[in-house]
Structure 1
Amino acid sequence: MSVSNILQPDSAPRVSLEQSSSFRNLGHTLIEGVLSPIEIEHFRKVINDAAYRYNTEQRKLEDRDTYGKAFLQVMNLWENDEEVRCFTLAERFGRIAAELLGVDNVRIYHDQALFKEPGGGFTPWHQDQYYWPLDTNNTITMWMPLIDITEDMGMLTFASGSHHDGFAGDIPISDESETALQKYIREKGYPVTRASAMKAGDATWHYGWTLHAAPGNNSAVTREVMTVIFFADGARVTEPRNKHQHNDRQRWLDGLEPGSIAASRLNPLVL
């Protein structure tokens, strides 16, 4: 199959006013049919091949901690695989991200395959942007299943509206974040929502500050998901607030100094 069409922004579904409003107000939205069945079939194979080739997790599920049980996580596949690069750097995704954020251009932060194995555990409540030393709130994660998924396979779950309050606590994803942020969500009264099902090639999009989690995978098949994180062009690197941001600055921003424009070789302009 030729993959050239995925590089074209105009081949994507248009972002509706309802989706844009949902994203701005709730902090997340679902856009169906971002990839066609033929396209997702192609990229599912590409991403699976790369994810299992570069996966370093060899422990049995029962021997891992809560974070390890949540999913197999393989990051920045686009750096090492030219076909995954066609996926991650697709202008189609960049255009949707830019439209939802209301900005002209976006850059890549990183991609990651998140494969929740059969019997895989829950993903604790967390905020993505806790990890990112960036000076903008215009950050967005695309979360795309590579197969049809249902709620019992580990559907992404959101605390709607939580992005409006920004930083929710100095706590990384863990058992502790699950307990503390569940309490925070109850106290704030955020509605907890998730889709009941998604087709392969559909995608959810959420702000970096939107609190989210996922239940365990109670099915007999692996929940295959690919994610891409974008941020608005022109953002600057901030002084790391925790060890995770220090590590992110070195790895995903290629060691750029605080105050620099976040535009390293690892953060190409997508749109």
Structure 2
Amino acid sequence: MKIPANLAELPQLDTDYPLTEEQIASYQRNGHIYLKNILSAEEIGYYEPLIAGTVREHNYQTKPVGERDTYGKAFIQICNLWQMNEGVARYVLARRFAKIAAELMGVEGVRIYHDQALFKEAGGGHTPWHQDQVYWPLETPNTITLWMPLVNVSEEVGSMTFVDGSHTSGYMSRQFISDESHKTLASYIEGKGLSKTNYGAMNAGDATFHAGWTLHSAPGNPTDTMREVMTIIYVADGVNTMANPDSSARESDLKSWFPGVKAGEPAVSPLNPLVYKR
């Protein structure tokens, strides 16, 4: 691992990662995709220490894993690291990632919604079935999340599990992430016989991308090491926020991630920079 002395040493991450028409079609059909080697081992070597260090600096969780609720057991969650560290900002605002996001969705440009580190501790619990966009005050299906491990992830920890094609269904449940949501959605998946995909072990610098409405979950961490994952959420440029956020969570997200923006106005604030435009 390399800790750069200054920003000039950090890789720019502005070169293209080429996608095939088949990959784009697969994402649009299934609502998720696994892409290998988006970052090289050398690039990960520069950025992992910066991200992990920022997470440690801003992690105020003091309860042991066993004493937390289901959500708290799932991971250490720190949001908008790009505002906390200039080096991490170079990672989050990277053109390489943003161009992939735009091309997978088939849109002209993308803005940052927000980033979040999701570090699943040794012995950490599972992440229940859920849809991310239940929380988001956005009036568009064109949202996408990059989910990138910063360390190699073994088969027993693995990637998330996705329900194929579920992004076309919109709301499947308005329940937030909880034991109840897991039971409700697991019963729905089983009852409908829906197909699922898990990509298994992943190397640092690989990534999955999934749509905001794609139903997904993640296993617990039975190992004795931290599962370090960084995520970046993108929204297509040129969309509006929800006219009337229909839950307290969406109202909270509107205030947190679109400060100063009123319902019905364009989804643009200083926290939502345009990171790629074709």
- What interval of TM-score do these two structures reach, taking the shorter chain for normalisation? over 0.9
2:179 aligned residue: 175
Q: What are the ranges of 5 or more consecutive residues in structure 1 without an aligned counterpart? A: none
Q: Structure 2: which amino acid aligns with 1:228? A: I
1:169-226 deviation digits (Å, cap 9, x = unpaired): 1110111110111112123322121112111000100000000000100111110000
Q: Structure 2: which amino acid aligns with 1:5? A: Q
The question of 1:230 aligning with 2:237 is answered no
Aligned equivalent of 2:154, options 137, 150, 154:
150
Q: 1:150 to 1:18 in 2, by over 3 A?
A: farther
Aligned equivalent of 1:53, options 45, 49, 57:
57
Which secondary structure does the structure 2 equivalent of 1:197 belong to?
A: coil
2:273 aligned residue: 268
Whole-Å separation in 1 of the counterparts to 2:156 and 2:245:
37
Q: Give the Å deviation of 1:270.
A: 0.4
Where do 1:101-120 residues align within 5 Å?
Answer: 101-120=105-124
TM-score, normalised via structure 1 length: 0.96
CA RMSD of aligned residues (A): 1.1
Q: Give the Å deviation of 1:79.
A: 1.1
Whole-Å separation in 2 of the counterparts to 1:263 and 1:192:
34
1:23-80 deviation digits (Å, cap 9, x = unpaired): 1111100111111100011111010010110112111111100110001111111111
Does the CA-based 8 Å contact 1:12-1:35 persist in structure 2?
Answer: no
Does the CA-based 8 Å contact 1:74-1:113 persist in structure 2?
Answer: yes
Runs of 4+ in 1 over 4 A off after TM superposition: none
Whole-Å separation in 2 of the counterparts to 1:112 and 1:20:
25
Whole-Å separation in 2 of the counterparts to 1:255 and 1:222:
36
Q: Give the Å deviation of 1:155.
A: 2.4
1:140 aligned residue: 144
Identity %: 48
Aligned equivalent of 1:5, options 12, 24, 27:
12
Q: What are the ranges of 5 or more consecutive residues in structure 2 without an aligned counterpart? A: none
Where do 1:247-258 residues align within 5 Å?
Answer: 247-258=252-263
Whole-Å separation in 2 of the counterparts to 1:57 and 1:18:
43
TM-score, normalised via structure 2 length: 0.94
Whole-Å separation in 1 of the counterparts to 2:105 and 2:118:
24
Aligned residues: 268
